[in-house]
Amino acid sequence: MPQSPLTVAEASSTEKAVTYDANHPYHLNNSDSPGMTLVNSVFDGRGYPGWRRSILLSLSAKKKLGFINGTCKSPDLNSGEYEQWSCVNDMVITWITNALTKDIADSVIHSKTAQELWESLEQRFGRSNGAKLYHLQKEITSLVQGNDDVAKYFTKLKKLWDELDVIHVIVCCSGPCVCEGKAKLTKSLQDQRLIQFLMGLNDIYTQARGNILMMNPLPSMDLAYSLLLQDENQREVYANALNI
């Protein structure tokens, strides 16, 4: 394990840990720092079982497994132990995210606890997502605008796409993509979603939909969405004018 030199700030924060003996999960060594690397390989979506095992061994050696398996839960916010728990929890979060590619790390960085972060990784990479995928795809294909306005319909669809993104990480080259394959896959996925979105729109948007489909290449989702909102607004203005 590389020993990174402690900065002044880190040194003073670890001094608080002195009250916990070396076997206590709250104990941090002088060598423990947020920039530390737990394992040699960065997880890019492939080879989860091997990566997972290395992380578990590393955390076990550091007696920090409790922070991801739920046995070392957050103490009460007012408890004197909370600060140190939170410090170690944050440390474990940075250790794990240091061992993830940026894309994957970004998608889990909002987890409040190391346990939450770990569970999200386990859910995505640890077991077959077939059932979840089936359920999501079924929901997406059956979703239509109905009585919703365009914005509400889009939000519902977006939420389902976001859930799909959690399962699917587009992996191309190992490390940063240098072959443009990832960009092409992303564009093709976006086109597919745009078509899904247009398919569920009410018939009243037939004209606007036709205009969007004529564009070559197909516009981004954002542009298509704003064109449809314009169409919706014009219709409202027209309807109001008729009512006067």
Min CB(171)–Zn ion separation in Å = 9
Q: At what angle do helices 221-243 and 206-214 cross, to 10 degrees?
A: 150
What x/- string results for residues 3 through 22 when contact with Zn ion is judged by CB under 5 A?
--------------------
Nearer of residues 173 and 199 to Zn ion, judged by Cβ: 173
Find the binding residues for Zn ion in span 167-226 (CB under 5 A): 172-173, 177, 179, 181
Nearer of residues 177 and 221 to Zn ion, judged by Cβ: 177
Residues in contact with Zn ion, counted by CB under 5 A, come to a total of: 5
Nearer of residues 101 and 120 to Zn ion, judged by Cβ: 101
Q: How far is CA 154 from the centre of its chain?
A: 20
Min CB(174)–Zn ion separation in Å = 9
Nearer of residues 35 and 176 to Zn ion, judged by Cβ: 176
Contact segment (CB under 5 A) with Zn ion among 75-83, 130-138, 165-173, 224-232 equals: 165-173
CA distances from 114 to 111, 119, 150, 181, 235 (A): 7, 9, 38, 33, 50
Q: Which residues sit at the interface with Zn ion, rule CB under 5 A?
A: 172-173, 177, 179, 181
